[in-house]
Each structure stands twice: as structure tokens, then as C-alpha cells.
Amino acid sequence: MKNRKLGKNGLTVSPLGLGCMSMSYAYGPPSDINKMTDLLHKAVDLGITFFDTAEVYGPYTNEELLGRALHSFHDKISIATKFGFKLKTDGTPGWDGLDSRPEHIREVAEASLKRLKIEAIDLFYQHRVDPDVPIEDVAGTVKDLIKEGKVKHFGLSEPGIETIKKAHAVLPVTAVQNEYSLMWREPEKELIPLLDELEIGLVPFSPIGRGFLSGKINEKTEFAENDFRNTLPRFAKEARKANMALVELIQAIAAEKNATPAQIALAWLLKQRDYIVPIPGTTNPGRLEENIESVNIDLNQNDLSKIKDAVSKIDIIGDRYPQSLQKMVKN
């Protein structure tokens, strides 16, 4: 795989990363640690050099998994992790609000370094914007951590446009992580033009629409009791039924290209900008191989025009998040 540059600050990674959240959190029971260790090793063997985690995934257990599985590979890979949530004191999943106070950022950095078994965090994202802490203070704290050799690059996850500008003026932002897919194209309006201007990379999470664009989910699908998708308006049965129009479009294109729908969803993203690095997540070795193969699928300009025209006529039903989480998202 030909590597891509995230931003202009020297972070070069594989064109696809691996989102690791689902291995420990949010999509049903945590997966077997030994099987996930094997999966992570397989990803490295197949050329993946960019791995995404966060302290809140578990909490803590996802970082611990990556520390156990990947510590011997760190000279050839990059790991992104995140700060910004006030985690529950009893260690149960979830959080009790936001916390990007400078002293808390430092506490998270030190703890993440230990769990990941690394000397420096390759990419340190603010997980969600904290309205109670000026973003200039956040960027300044990460800038100090970079000077101290504990962090290499600064990122923001789902920030607003003005937040990016203010942060970037203090410390160049290497990458923005945002949901972006054929199911959610909102970033095209304001975010991507700004990233073009400032030369910041984009790391789309949920690039396969939390699995929906794979064609493996429909209105009859039943999720595990503790699957995060049970809480999302977009995954209500009525919304899934209505949104199948998009899946059917992708399936038709996939048939023409002798590919899977998930591969088309990823290939489309890779064609949007050369600084885009999607991070599809999986716990399945076969899906990992399938996703990686998307880098070899050629969508020509005619294909892209057909997709753009068809998608523009489809309205996606259902919000991305419930109201309790929607207020944390700036775009």
C-alpha cells in the first residue's frame, strides 16, 4: 500500500488505518484478547501502520490491548489515542462529562503512555471539544507535551470550524477525526474546504456507516443488548428500512466492480482527497482483509460522478446520535 501524509507535519501512515474501539467497547461484549492480539498482528503483516484507540474505550482496556499486542512493532507503526472525557470513578463504561483541563490532559497522556507501552504518543486527539476550557489552552498544553517528547502530533475529533482555526493558530493540527462516509457527507460543506486550506489530514471514523453500508444489516437485524447502535436514531428499524436505498445503490456499484459494498464505501472515501485515511474497525480477520483490498479498487471519474449524482437524490433518515450526545458534536 502506498502511504499517505496526514497534514503537513510529517505523519505518514498506511492509506487505511484500523479503528480498534469495537475490540473492547460499544459493539457488544469485548472480544477475546488473544484473538484480538492475533488480529492486530495480522493487520501489521498486511501493511496497516495506523491504529486508533482512546482511554475511554473500555475504559482503558483498549489501550492496554494495543500496548500488549503492538509494543514490539512501534518502530514501524503509529498509534493515535485521545483525551477529553471525565471517566466514571467506578471504572464502568461511559463518562461523566468532558474534561480538557490542562492538568487532566497531562494525566491522560502519562497514563496512556504506560498502557500503550510507548515513549511518545504519535497522534493525541482531543476527543470532544470542552466548552469550559479555551481551545487555546488545550493546544498550548499539547504543544508543551510535544516539546517534552511525550506527544508527536496534535489532533481534534469532531471539532467546529472556529475551534480548528483557533487551535491551529497555537499549534498546527495534524489531523481531524470526523465521521465521513457515503452515509454522512456533511464534512464536504465546510470542514474539507478548511482542511484543504490549512493542510490538515482527515481521519474518517465509521467509514462504512457503523457497518450499515456493508449490506450485512437491515431492518430485521437484532443487535446485542449492549451494542451502541441500539441508542442511535439512524439505527431505529424504520430508519434502517428507509436507508436501504443507499445500500442498494452501493451494492449495484459493487457488483459492477466485482467488489463488496464495504470496499466501495472505502474506495470512494480514498478518492475524495489524498490526505484522507479512513479507520474502519473490525474484529473479524476476513473483514480486515476485505477492507484492505479496497485500496486496490479503481473508481474512475465516471464512477465517482455516477455515485455523486445518485447519492444526492437519497435522503438519509435518522440523526447520528441521540440528543444526549448530539450536543457534544460541533458539525
Is 204 within 8 Å of 276 (Cβ atoms)? yes
Is 269 within 8 Å of 180 (Cβ atoms)? yes
3-state secondary structure 179-201: ECECCECHHHCCHHHHHHHHCCE
User: Is residue 180 annotated as a catalytic residue, yes or no?
Assistant: no
Residue 277 and residue 179: Cα distance in Å, rounded? Answer: 12
126, 240, 237: which is closest to 177 by C-alpha? Answer: 126
Q: At what angle do helices 301-311 and 261-272 cross, to 10 degrees?
A: 100
Burial of 242 (0-12, 13-18, 19+ CB in 10 A): middle
Backbone angles phi, psi at 56, to 5 degrees: -70, -15
Task: Indicate the helix (H) or strand (E) that contains 252.
Answer: helix 237-257
CA-derived radius of gyration, the chain: 19
Q: Tell me which of 25, 27, 57, 275 is the catalytic residue.
A: 57
Is 151 within 8 Å of 180 (Cβ atoms)? no
Residue 47 and residue 2: Cα distance in Å, rounded? Answer: 10
Collect all residues with Cβ–Cβ distance below 8 Å to 234 and sequence separation of at least 6.
183, 212, 240, 243, 316, 317, 318, 319, 320
Residue 310 and residue 307: Cα distance in Å, rounded? Answer: 5
By annotation, the residues acting in catalysis are: 57
